[in-house]
Amino acid sequence: MKDILKKLPKIELHCHLDGSVRPETMYELLLEEGEDMEDISLEQFEKMAKVVDECNSLVEYLERFSYPLKVMQRKENIERITYELLEDLSKQNVKYVEIRFAPFLFMEKGLSFDESVESVLKGMERAKGDFNILSNAILVCMRHESVEKSIELVEKGEKFLGKGVVAVDLAGAEEGFPPENHKEAFDLAYKKGYNITVHAGETGRYENITKSIELLHAERIGHGIAAIKSPEVMELIKNKNIFLEMCPISNLQTKAVESLDEYPIKEFLDNDILVTVNTDNTTVSNTSLDKEYELLIDGLGFSIEDIIKLIKNSIEATFLPKEEKAHLKRIIENELKNI
Ligand SMILES: [Zn+2]
């Protein structure tokens, strides 16, 4: 089974760049930045950068992001981190990935918005040539920031649309920061032709899912677990053909669900909801697509056919233009035929 999983052609749609930095690269760059790492070995550091055993909440989970952000303030570092993530994903036979990041978080030491986006795009371009992996970027607005900041992101990101950037997202802790706060920015993004995905119903309420679809124009929902609590929300997701970007291991770590038994992925699939499976953060969650699929097989009784269905959903869920989507579909289907 593991061998088949390894060989499957895969798609990753929900992956945060800052949560997916190689630990050894982070360690090396922290030393370069003059961070006091004297008493910390690489092995110890890996445990600090990842959720290895237990984590009690989304807030605790998000604390892991302080290390990567310290080293993502230089162009060459951002490009390298992007390139290395794509190298790692290509080794797991990931054919296409949408990498997401919040440009403003890379601008604490003087980088401009354009420099921060261009650095990611350069890493993507170089990886495409070297590892034959396709990718696009999703620009992330942060919930706790003002709507003006989100509008600024939408405006400044516009020139990269179709040139490596395909969408905007809204991320961060949900409690206290409802989707409607950012409506003006997402109306603008919609007008400008961005695709839209929104984190909603991760550890927050199901109302956030409805609002993200109806007020923020979301075509995809990050996580969406809380939908299981409302038949109306399930209906809405189904009727509007909204894709869910689920990330099982991360969802268990942030206590979005108490245990795998409560994880609603089967119920969603049985209700014809378009589910995709992703990693969220390969380093912070200490995961990979192979591990996510393995968990579904070992823990929830999924078959390889179920996994292939998830991958096919992911093809449809990509924010690729029609022709590129058809091209990706051919690549994936050709490989599936040979397995
Ligand atoms: Zn996420």
The first and second tokens of residue 295, run together, are: 């968990």
Range of the domain at 105: 2-338
199 annotated as ligand-binding:
yes
The pLDDT of residue 288 is: 97
Per-residue pLDDT, averaged over 102-118, amounts to: 97
In a 10 Å sphere around its CB, with 0-12 CB exposed, 13-18 middle and 19+ buried, how is residue 98 labelled? Answer: buried
Q: Which residues contact 316 (CB under 8 A, 6 or more apart)?
A: 243, 274, 325
**Residue 30 parent element (H or E):** helix 23-32
Per-residue pLDDT, averaged over 175-198, amounts to: 97
Residue 227 one-letter amino acid: A
Per-residue pLDDT, averaged over 329-339, amounts to: 94
Per-residue pLDDT, averaged over 107-116, amounts to: 97
What is the Å distance from ligand 1's center to 38 Cα? 32
Q: Which string of b and e fits 173-211 if b means at least 16 CB within 10 Å? A: bbeebbbebbbebbebbbeeebbbbbbbbbbbbbebbbb
CB atoms within 5 A of ion ligand 1 belong to 280
Q: Read off φ and ψ for residue 282, nearest 5 degrees.
A: -65, -35
Q: Give pLDDT tens digits for 141-174.
A: 999 999 999 999 999 999 999 999 999 999 998 8
The pLDDT of residue 38 is: 80
306 annotated as ligand-binding:
no
**Total domains, the chain:** 1
What percentage of the chain carries pLDDT values higher than 90? 87
What is the Å distance from ligand 1's center to 202 Cα? 9
What is the Å distance from ligand 1's center to 251 Cα? 10
Tell me the catalytic residues.
202
Per-residue pLDDT, averaged over 182-192, amounts to: 98
What percentage of the chain carries pLDDT values higher than 70? 99
Window from 220-229, 231-240, 253-262 with minimum mean pLDDT: 253-262
14 annotated as ligand-binding:
yes
What is the Å distance from ligand 1's center to 317 Cα? 16
Average pLDDT, the chain: 95
**Residue 11 parent element (H or E):** strand 10-16
The first and second tokens of residue 270, run together, are: 């049985």
176 annotated as ligand-binding:
no
CATH code for the domain in which residue 43 is found: 3.20.20.140
Per-residue pLDDT, averaged over 33-55, amounts to: 86
Window from 43-52, 56-65, 295-304 with minimum mean pLDDT: 56-65
Question: How many Cβ atoms from other residues are within 10 Å of residue 241's Cβ?
Answer: 12
